[in-house]
Structure formats: structure tokens, C-alpha cells
Amino acid sequence: MSSSTALATFLASEQARDWRRLPVFAPGAQAERACAAADAERVAGHVVAPAPERVFAALALTPLDGVRLVILGQDPYPTPGHANGLAFSYVGPPPLPRSLVNIYRERSDDLGLAPPTDGDLTAWARQGVLLLNTALTVREGASKAGSHLLLGWGAVTDAIISAVSRDRPHVVFMLWGSPAQAKRALIDESRHLVIASAHPSPLSARRGFFGSRPFSKANAWLTAKGEKSIDW
């Protein structure tokens, strides 16, 4: 399956009922062009993550009308076998990706919860947590992080974030890292809460991610707005 075929399959599904009305998903529009660029990478011999059928997993698990919180990262894990279409999520044998280990560490410090033994964040997504990256694909391999940031995904994720800001009443946006924080202007902060910090990567977590207490802050704000808190 190609990314373009995966896009068509996703848009034809019931899970895409809210997302497919965005102009960015129209035939020939930005999502289709970004998928074609990812397919061209594969044709050129590069291994692209995640697998095509997982590129739109975040949108499939969290419909627009159910988004209550957005965790925005940079791009999928470039380590072979790590990316699964949900930002920061991982399904596989130990060890967990180091960014996820740091997320769990902050979760433990913030909420007093023991770190999970697995990295699957599907349960968060099913509660309305949109686990979105600013780019939905990446080349696999060492030093390949950010390799698809200029592949056309920016327009796609801009449209997704703008739609959430426009259409949802009260959403928490967690912007982790500089590429995520560059999207801040798309968010109506008179209605939504933005929690911005350094990326949880080992290269930057000590520069503001640790100690940011995003999980308790998000739940406190959601409950103050009459929304259900997230079971982290």
C-alpha cells in the first residue's frame, strides 16, 4: 500500500467523517500532494515511517468532534520500527523510545503515577487526545529526524490545528518543541489553553520539559471548563 492509497482508504472510512470535509483533504490538495511526496521517497529507495496504513492513525482514532486535547510533536520516530502514526506512541519490545521514557517520567513526577511498561498511547487517543506530529512521515534511520518537515505536511497539520481551534469549544494544546510551538498562532487562546515547553527528547527535556507539569495543568483547566479530565 502507498501513502496515497492509505489516504484514499482513510477518507472513505467512517472515522474520517469530520476530517474529510477540510479543504486540505480535497482531491489534488495538500494531503494528497504530501502523500505523493512520501511515495516518491519510497520509490527513490528510502524507508519511510510509519507504514502507509498508519500515516493517518491519529485522525482515525480521534475524530474532530471528539478532540479535547492535542499533543503536538515534531515528526514520527525515525528509529526503525518505532513509529506507529500516533505522536510519541510506540508498540514494540523494550526499550521504549527515549522521548516516551521522558514523557512517562514527567507524568510520574506530575501525577504520582508509576511509569507504564508499554508505550502504546491508544488509550489517550480514544479519550479525545489528538496525538499529532507537525509532519506525518519521516525517513527511517539515524540522524533522519526532521527529514520530511518540508515535504508538504505543514499545510496539512496547519489545517488540522486550525479546524480544532475553530470548531471545538475547549481544547488543551500541548506544544512540545520548536516546530510544534511555531503553530501557536493558529490557536485561538481566548478559548483554548496552550501549554508550550521544550521537546521531551533527551537532547532538550532538561531545558523546560521536565517540571512543566502538563498533565495536571491540562486536567485542572478541562474540569474548570466543565469538561471531563483525561485518564493519563
Q: Which of 18, 75, 118, 167 is catalytic?
A: 75
**SS3 at position 49:** strand
Element (H, E) at 122: helix 122-125
Q: In angstroms, rounded to a whole number, what is the distance separating the alpha carbons of residues 178 and 183?
A: 9
Query: Which is nearest to 108 in space by CA: 181, 6, 214?
Result: 214
In the residue annotation, 75 being an active-site residue is answered as yes
Q: In angstroms, rounded to a whole number, what is the distance separating the alpha carbons of residues 86 and 94?
A: 18
Q: Could you tell me if 61 and 19 are in contact, meaning their C-beta atoms sit under 8 angstroms apart?
A: no
1: exposed, middle or buried (Cβ count in 10 Å: 0-12, 13-18, 19+) = exposed
Q: What share of the chain is helix, strand, coil (3-state, %, to 5)?
A: 40, 10, 50
The DSSP bridge pattern shows strands 172-176 and 69-73 to be: parallel
Q: In angstroms, rounded to a whole number, what is the distance separating the alpha carbons of residues 45 and 43?
A: 5
Catalytic residue IDs: 75
